[in-house]
Copies of this chain bind each other. A is one copy, B any other.
Amino acid sequence: MAEQHGFWHKYRSTIVYGISLALLMFLLKWLELRFIIYDHSFEIYVGFIAFIFTGLGIWLALKLSKPKVETIIIEKQVIINADVDFTPNAALISQLDISSREMDVLNLMAKGHSNAEIARELFISLSTVKTHTGNLFVKLDVKRRTQAIEKAKRLQIIP
């Protein structure tokens, strides 16, 4: 798309072609007078001209034609690990009315921790953990912790 070429650069090929043509004509005329016509057949002369100008045409075409560019687009899939840049669906969490403490429990639950372990880690009693899990199950509309984990992951509430 660069149109900033000078006159010479732009028409160089054409000019060279013209000059070549003139020189060739001159050469042919000279050859004609000197050797070929007299020594060889007319067909050889014509063939020679055909050969030369075919070559000239090829050269011209290669010079003048815009280079054929075959663009191959390779789509390289870069796998994003999904958890790496995970951001919880805050809208859904508040919509489901899940409290922050319940989220704590939910996250530990998804890591495979038992209620007793969760109680220990959050410094609360087993009863409290059970209360939280029970409330979570109601809010997530599930019956078991495994279902809660599956649904929470599916809803992008936890990674």
Contact = CB atoms under 8 A, between A and B. Distances in A.
A28 B53 contact: no
Contacts of A146: 109-110, 112-114, 145-146, 149
Contacts of A73: 72, 74, 76
A98 interface: no
Nearest to A83: B82
Given A70-B71, A76-B77, A150-B111, A28 B57 contact: no
Nearest to A70: B67
A55 interface: yes
Interface stretch (A2-10, A58-66, A89-97, A123-131): A58-66
Nearest to A21: B50
Contact of A75 (B50, B56, B67, B78): B78
Interface of A: 21, 24-25, 28, 43, 46-47, 49-62, 65-82, 109-114, 142-151
A-B pairs, 5 with minimum CB distance:
A57-B57, A112-B147, A61-B61, A67-B68, A53-B53
Given A51-B53, A112-B151, 19 more contacts: A21-B50, A24-B50, A25-B47, A61-B61, A61-B65, A66-B68, A67-B67, A67-B70, A68-B70, A70-B72, A72-B73, A74-B74, A75-B76, A109-B146, A111-B150, A112-B148, A114-B144, A114-B146, A146-B146
